[in-house]
Copies of this chain bind each other. A is one copy, B any other.
């Protein structure tokens, strides 16, 4: 499915619009009236609008949800997605392992992934991180302040320092993730907790951005600065190389470029 790039080419077209896909669990919004009031068309739709508001023609944004066939994430859909955004919470366990495996392969092959808020505990994030991705939490209307620690990072572009979020669920350390490649934001909460709220990770050929603000109970995805950060994340996470899964290859002495496939050990591993 995912093939090697045309010989010699390691380049992509960065002027093409970014094809972003917002994946929403879309359960709270249909079951809980107070959530539906904040997000009448689903959180995924609000997130989509925030990206469009910031990127305009530079992005083509679509949405899909858990209850679509194959959770809306067919091989064809993923092959045509540059950056996938993931919001899930109550139904992480309902996401089929086969689909998680498929998304995983696409991320390692170069698809960008933005994991939002409670997505920290999604199967796909856990599979990419290799850790429990647990944390401490409380849902009590804490004020969250999002402080930028890496001011020159493209994801921090054009936002105030700090971002003020009037009311939010508290997420606190220790957040059981690998040390991020880049730590962009640290949040504090009224209760005194802190959280690494904006982190990047590179896995295979894919770029991953985790951003914690956003909860079904609060209108966080209507917040101007949160929307800017997510849009910045979409730009940052776009594929940097043609979609290719890293593979194990044998290279003879002095032969640096072609290599030969070597499947047996991998197949053994899969056995």
User: Interface residues, chain A, CB within 8 Å of chain B?
Assistant: 8, 10-12, 89-94, 108, 110, 121-123, 126-132, 134-138, 140, 142-143, 145, 147-154, 156-162, 164, 170, 172-176, 178-179, 181-183, 186-194, 196, 201-207, 240-241, 245-254, 256-257, 259, 262, 265-271
Contact = CB atoms under 8 A, between A and B. Distances in A.
Given A138-B251, A202-B178, A253-B191, A151 B94 contact: no
12 contacts: A10-B158, A10-B160, A11-B158, A110-B152, A130-B130, A131-B203, A140-B252, A145-B194, A149-B196, A160-B257, A161-B173, A178-B181
Contact of A152 (B175, B186, B205): B205
Shortest beta-carbon contacts, A-B, top 8: A93-B271, A93-B268, A176-B246, A152-B240, A134-B248, A11-B158, A128-B130, A92-B269
Contacts of A136: 248-251, 259
Contacts of A130: 127-130, 203
Nearest to A257: B160
Interface of A is mostly: loop
Nearest to A120: B248
A187 B194 contact: yes
A203 to B, nearest CB: 5
A123 B269 contact: yes
Contact of A248 (B121, B240, B249): B121
A94 B145 contact: no
A152 B121 contact: no
A208 to B, nearest CB: 10
B248 A135 contact: yes
B246 A145 contact: no
A252 B121 contact: no
A21 B11 CA distance: 26
Contacts of A259: 136
Given A10-B157, A151-B205, 17 more contacts: A8-B160, A91-B268, A108-B131, A121-B248, A136-B259, A137-B250, A142-B253, A145-B256, A147-B172, A148-B174, A160-B257, A161-B173, A161-B257, A179-B202, A186-B186, A187-B194, A188-B194
A173 B202 CA distance: 16
Contacts of A152: 110, 202, 205-207, 240-241
Contacts of A123: 269
Contact of A121 (B176, B188, B254, B269): B269
A141 B157 CA distance: 33
